[in-house]
Amino acid sequence: MRRLEDLEDELALARYQLRRQLGEVTYVMQADARSALTPAVTASAREHLTFEIVCADEAFVAAQAFMAEDPAGLAIVSHTVDDLASNPRPPSAFPRGSTAFLRLRVGRYRVL
């Protein structure tokens, strides 16, 4: 018999893949990524440069753990990550250690 957690993981992955096919997300799972933060021109606005956001698999696992507890908070995190495609260095970001990495505070969550 399959565990509930396994079914939830499969459902979350299916939702992600559907949203990706519909063009609703601008990030990819690390396993699907060809390269990190590579520029890509969108079809709707060829003159507007965007970036591909690569999320570590661990980030999706952590998000699934918080899904039942705080779905609204995770929705805000998701929108913030999506916004990084058009603005990878928002004014609210600050350096984390070296200047190569930035950190964002999104409610009680942190995005690196």
Higher pLDDT, 7 or 66: 66
pLDDT at 86: 80
CB 79 within 8 A of CB 44: no
Number of domains in the chain: 1
DSSP-derived pairing of the beta strands 27-29 and 98-106: unpaired
Q: How far apart are CA 85 and CA 41, in angstroms?
A: 11
Domain housing 75? 4-111
CB neighbour list of residue 35: distance below 8 Å, 6 or more residues apart = 52, 54
Tens digits of residue pLDDT in 12-27: 777 777 777 787 766 6
Tens digits of residue pLDDT in 46-96: 445 677 788 888 888 888 888 878 888 888 888 888 888 888 888 888 887
